[in-house]
Amino acid sequence: MIADKYLIREQNEALVLKTIINYQPISRANIANHSGLNKASVSSITSALIERQLIFESSIGDAGTSGGRKPINLSFNPQAGLALSVDIGSNYVHGMLSYLNGHSIHQVKEKAPISTENVISATLNVINKLTTLSLPKTTHGIVGICLGIHGIVLDDQIQFTPSYDLDKINLKEELEKFISYPIYLENEANLAALGEYTFSKNSQDNMISISIHSGIGAGIIQKGELQTGSHGQAGEIGHSILYPNGHRCPCGNRGCLEKYASNKAIYELFTAETDIQNVDSDLITDELNNDNPVVRSIVHKKIWELSIGVNDLTMLYDPNLIIINSSIFQKNPELIAVLKAEVPSRFAQHLTISNSELGEMATLYGGAAKVISTFLGIENARLGILD
Ligand SMILES: [Zn+2]
């Protein structure tokens, strides 16, 4: 009985907090209107939230047409705590410390090949740098950390990581020996989608973010909620089969999309055709600008292959928006129109395809969104557009 009462209180508290975040600055009377809670409940819940410094009285509102006493407006206090997010790539660890609205305070990026041997020390090194550089004083301190993993993650446990061997270590358990706040793990493409949904200007309730790096992964948001599937594998579009009997993939299939249409596949094909080594997105961009016919033809062929994945995702999930997160597309925004032209299906006529607004920061912002929404107990919150 007591537990139930506690739960209802928690749910109502989360509802009030979410209403304030969505409509701030907002009066207590308007919180009651939006949330459906009665004024007495709103009054006691907002008092508790003020005491915990999660909200504050921010301004005097409008008395409206009836006149009378002007109401006091309430706003969310993003500086009540701090969130940590870390993107663990195959050759880097990139971390961000932010306030509870995702506003970045510090970022640290360290480059080194990552494996089970050094992942703990490399991650702790980035966390230490983020938290010793003049850590702001806040009421709740660090409220959690989210690690973005380039592979399959289920319930904070790494299942399969083809680009490094982190599936051989219990990262959460090992880090818990050093860290006292909650630790969450999630797939990097899923976090990128969560980051775009939570913070980007053209966010939609039904959207997909496709992360294209050395592999290809998609994060799927439906009705404002990240879809991870039964085994954490939802959106693993990089392992959909493009060419049966094609190149072998570490996943066990042949002819997976990411063996052809990832940025790594573009770099490898360019090296094979020109003998130029160490190709990256800057070199591809320079050669596109020089109108190099070899690179132009490679990039267009790879975009055509990618478009088959985009078409499949559109048929499966019917999103309003597909966001492309790739350094090649970021540096050559005109390629978005090329990709769009390759998806002529009438089923795609309502689909918008656009470049990521958050770029390589999307995973870190998604990690912040995960930490913050879990701490606040609110789901699907749009925490605010980043500048
Ligand atoms: Zn595969």
My answer on whether omega of the bond before 182 falls inside 30° of 0, hence cis, is: no
Q: Are 329 and 287 found together in one domain? A: yes
Q: Are 15 and 154 found together in one domain? A: no
Distances, alpha carbon 191 to alpha carbons 51, 120, 287, 377, in Å: 32, 21, 32, 18
On whether residue 198 sits in a domain, the answer given is no
Q: What separation in Å is there between the alpha carbon of 252 and the centre of ligand 1?
A: 6
Q: Are 39 and 109 found together in one domain? A: no
Q: What separation in Å is there between the alpha carbon of 245 and the centre of ligand 1?
A: 12
On whether residue 384 sits in a domain, the answer given is no
Q: What separation in Å is there between the alpha carbon of 255 and the centre of ligand 1?
A: 7
Q: What separation in Å is there between the alpha carbon of 249 and the centre of ligand 1?
A: 5
Q: What pLDDT is recorded for position 346?
A: 85
Q: What separation in Å is there between the alpha carbon of 337 and the centre of ligand 1?
A: 27
Residues with CB under 5 A from ligand 1 (ion): 239, 249, 251, 253, 256
**CA dihedral of 368, 369, 371, 375, whole degrees rounded to 10:** 130
Among 25, 58, 76, identify where a domain stops.
76
How far apart are alpha carbons 377 and 168 in whole angstroms? 32
Q: Are 111 and 61 found together in one domain? A: no
On whether residue 280 sits in a domain, the answer given is yes
Q: What separation in Å is there between the alpha carbon of 265 and the centre of ligand 1?
A: 13
Q: Are 370 and 351 found together in one domain? A: no
Q: What separation in Å is there between the alpha carbon of 330 and the centre of ligand 1?
A: 25
Q: Are 244 and 273 found together in one domain? A: yes
Q: Are 273 and 309 found together in one domain? A: yes
- 36-61 burial, b for 16+ CB within 10 Å, e for fewer? ebeeebbeebbeebeeeebbeebeeb
Q: What separation in Å is there between the alpha carbon of 93 and the centre of ligand 1?
A: 24
Per-residue pLDDT of the chain (387 residues; tens, 9 = 90+): 444 556 666 889 999 999 999 899 999 999 999 999 999 999 999 999 999 999 999 888 776 666 677 889 999 999 999 999 999 999 999 999 999 999 999 999 999 999 999 999 999 999 999 998 778 999 999 999 999 999 999 999 999 998 899 999 999 999 999 999 999 999 999 999 999 999 998 899 999 999 999 899 999 999 999 999 999 999 999 999 999 999 999 889 999 999 999 999 999 999 999 999 999 999 999 999 999 999 999 999 999 999 999 999 999 999 999 999 999 999 999 999 999 999 988 888 889 999 999 999 999 999 999 999 999 998 877 877 666
Could you tell me where the DSSP H helices lie in 177-224?
Answer: 188-199
Q: What pLDDT is recorded for position 64?
A: 67
Residue 385: closest CA among 175, 224, 197, 212: 197
Q: What pLDDT is recorded for position 9?
A: 66
Q: Are 56 and 89 found together in one domain? A: no
> What CATH number is associated with residue 132?
3.30.420.40
> What CATH number is associated with residue 17?
1.10.10.10
Domain enclosing residue 38, as ranges: 2-76
On whether residue 23 sits in a domain, the answer given is yes
How far apart are alpha carbons 305 and 261 in whole angstroms? 6
Distances, alpha carbon 76 to alpha carbons 46, 47, 53, 100, in Å: 11, 13, 9, 9
Among 48, 76, 104, identify where a domain stops.
76
Domains held by the chain: number: 3
Q: Are 335 and 239 found together in one domain? A: yes
Q: What separation in Å is there between the alpha carbon of 163 and the centre of ligand 1?
A: 12
Q: Are 174 and 292 found together in one domain? A: no
Q: For residue 212, list its beta bridge partners.
A: 216
Among 76, 110, 140, identify where a domain stops.
76
Q: Are 218 and 347 found together in one domain? A: yes
Residue 25: closest CA among 91, 85, 70: 70
Q: Are 152 and 230 found together in one domain? A: no
On whether residue 301 sits in a domain, the answer given is yes
Q: What separation in Å is there between the alpha carbon of 346 and the centre of ligand 1?
A: 29
On whether residue 381 sits in a domain, the answer given is no
On whether residue 383 sits in a domain, the answer given is no
On whether residue 382 sits in a domain, the answer given is no
